A and B are shown apart, each in its own frame.
Chain A
Amino acid sequence: MDEKTLIAKRVALELKDGDLCNLGIGLPTLVARYVPAGRNVFFQSENGIVGMSGPVAGADNHDLTDAGGSPISALPGAASFDSALSFGLIRGGHLDVTVLGGLQVDEEGHLANWMVPGKMVPGMGGAMDLVTGARRVIVAMQHSAKGESKIVKHCTLPLTSVRRVDLIVTDLAVIEPTDAGLVLKETAPGVTVEQVLANTGCELILSPDLRPMPLEG
């Protein structure tokens, strides 16, 4: 199993029956494939639909896409609406969970994921609203990039929000930001605690319930 699949499978276990969930572009979109059987999860696309599903071959509709402009389909029971209502759902506490990619997360659980000054300035899109407003924020990302840990003492990149994220799922570990700091809760298959610590740019508190990462619900 590649690293992205592993991260997506672990994140999917966090989704509960009846949840409304918004997945960021990139790695987070994989999460929809691994929702455990029997859990009915509604997915929102912030361009204006609740109840989206993957594309159906031969049924492309130029009026129905995800936030990246790729074709999707609408499940029975789906609802579409304008951007103000869509972000009202996000900001107003109606969105149960969002899964977003990350460039950095720090000891305080602050996420940076929208720009690298001077290099990459895509804009924040809906990310700032999602991190500020979703009831639960899960960051799904590789633990390191170009040999450097993405989990750091203080974010050096511009923050997406000062709201503390709720969970970080990487190819090495599951980490929960708390008042006391970052708590290491799970290690990925074949990964030791020492490996996680060596690849993390700040201190981690070992959870008394530290366990191997489950991948099936």
Chain B
Amino acid sequence: MSKLISLEDAVARIPNGASLLIGGFMAVGGPNRLVDELIRQRKSDLTIIANDTARPAMGLGKLVVERLVAKVITSHIGLNPETQKQMIAGDIQVELVPQGTLAERIRSGGVGLGGVLTPTGVGTTVEEGKRTVEIDGKTYLLELPIKADFALIAAKQADLYGNLTYALTARNFNPIMAMAATTVIAEAEDIVPVGCIPPDAVMTPSILVDHLISNSNR
């Protein structure tokens, strides 16, 4: 039942043009080994869904610099001038989503909901093209679910089944994204035998994780 796979084999399963949910917040808690391997294997035309595009030389920011990204759905590109430059040049498509809305769109995708109703964005440019719903006199936007072909997740600790824990602010989008993809690939700082992580400590249950990157060749 071990889900261990080599980094190279895991990334080889990702085709060009795939949609990827990528965990992390300014690359903290980001699957940075998987990202580097995407670059090494020159996976291109990717759609990236992530909180931010980090910095040019950091985490998934490097995918943008390497021009492997066709579209990004994100809340913040302010610290990666390369994303802004490619957006203005029309080389990359950027959909900006309020951060809380991004989290709930991914969550709803992963838990079988048809979307979420949020007051965030009402009356702003975010409302354009969206349905509104009035409930008890208050207006909400209908925000639709997000799902992807793959989720690339970074954990603090994993067991061989793929149960995951996260540390502090490195948790961020990881557990939400782990529910919203067809195939979930996780990397972890430490991999321990099954049974070492108590059930109450598991933050992402193993049944969500398809592949766990081996640490043997780090």
Task: Give A contacts to B, CB under 8 Å.
Answer: 45-49, 61-65, 67-69, 74, 80-84, 86-88, 90-91, 121-129, 132-133, 158-162
Contacts and interface: CB of A to CB of B under 8 A. Distances in A.
Q: Which 3 A-B pairs have the closest CB atoms?
A: A122-B78, A87-B100, A69-B26
B190 to A, nearest CB: 13
Contacts, number: 146
Interface of B: 25-29, 51-52, 54-55, 74-79, 84, 87-88, 96, 98-101, 103-104, 107, 118-126, 156, 167-176
B169 A48 contact: yes
A87 B84 contact: no
Of residues B79, B100, B156, B176, which shows the largest number of chain A Cβ atoms within 10 Å of its Cβ? B100
B119 A132 contact: yes
A89 to B, nearest CB: 10
Contacts of B121: 128, 132, 161
Contact of A91 (B25, B28, B120, B172): B120
A159 B96 CA distance: 14
B167 A126 contact: no
Contacts of B98: 124-129
A150 B119 CA distance: 26
B124 A128 contact: yes
7 contacts: A47-B28, A47-B172, A121-B77, A123-B76, A125-B75, A126-B75, A161-B124
Nearest to A70: B26
Interface of B is mostly: mixed
A63 B28 contact: yes
Contact of A128 (B52, B84, B120, B169): B120
A114 B62 CA distance: 24
A161 B25 contact: no
Nearest to A85: B103
A133 B140 CA distance: 13
B123 A83 contact: no
Given A83-B51, A91-B120, A48 B99 contact: no
A212 to B, nearest CB: 36
Given A63-B156, A65-B28, A129 B124 contact: no
Contact of B78 (A81, A90, A125, A161): A125
A49 B96 contact: no
B51 to A, nearest CB: 7
B75 A81 contact: no
B99 A83 contact: yes
B172 A83 contact: yes
A74 B168 contact: yes
B36 to A, nearest CB: 16
A91 B98 CA distance: 12
Contacts of B100: 83, 87-88, 90-91, 126, 128-129, 133
B35 to A, nearest CB: 16
Contact of B124 (A45, A88, A158): A158
B124 A47 contact: no
B171 A48 contact: yes
Contacts of B87: 121
Given A63-B29, A83-B176, A91-B118, A124 B170 contact: no
B26 A125 contact: no
